[in-house]
Amino acid sequence: MQTVLFIALVANSLDLVATTWGIHWMGNGEGNPLLAGLAHHNWWVFVLIKGVLVPLLIVRLYRFRNSSPTLAVAGLALVAIVLTIAIGQWLGWMAGHYYASSHGLQ
């Protein structure tokens, strides 16, 4: 269970870094409609939410493991899977963007 917590926290951090790179240096946009406005117009609020609030919520979910183990396991697994997929999508988009720009396809 601690491994899943670690994976979820690391995946969230990597997603924040990939989002930063994609938006500010490669011209992409935030895919989460709840955070897109913040990511493009209130960057520091976005970083506070994604870099502080979301990890605190992940840790809070982990603490439910004693009172509601099914919720904690399912929730952490879902968070880890979704964030890992998000990172994969960012990396795929960045690789495609880099390939297209290096071959004059844009």
Answer whether residue 48 shows pLDDT above 90: yes
23 pLDDT tier (thresholds 50, 70, 90): confident
**pLDDT tens for each residue of 55-102:** 999 999 999 999 999 999 999 999 999 999 988 988 898 889 889 888
**pLDDT surpassing 80 at residue 45:** yes
Number of separate domains in the chain: 1
**Is residue 22 classed exposed, middle or buried when 0-12, 13-18 and 19+ CB atoms within 10 A define those classes?**
buried
Put residue 98 in one of left, alpha, beta given phi > 0 → left and psi -120 to 50 → alpha. alpha
Between CA 92 and CA 44 the distance in angstroms is: 26
Question: What is the average pLDDT score of the chain?
Answer: 89
pTM over 0.85: no
pLDDT in the model for residue 75:
93
Expressed as residue numbers, the domain containing 31 is 2-102
Grade residue 39 by pLDDT with cuts at 50, 70 and 90.
confident
Q: C-alpha angle with apex 42: 41 to 43, nearest 5 degrees?
A: 105
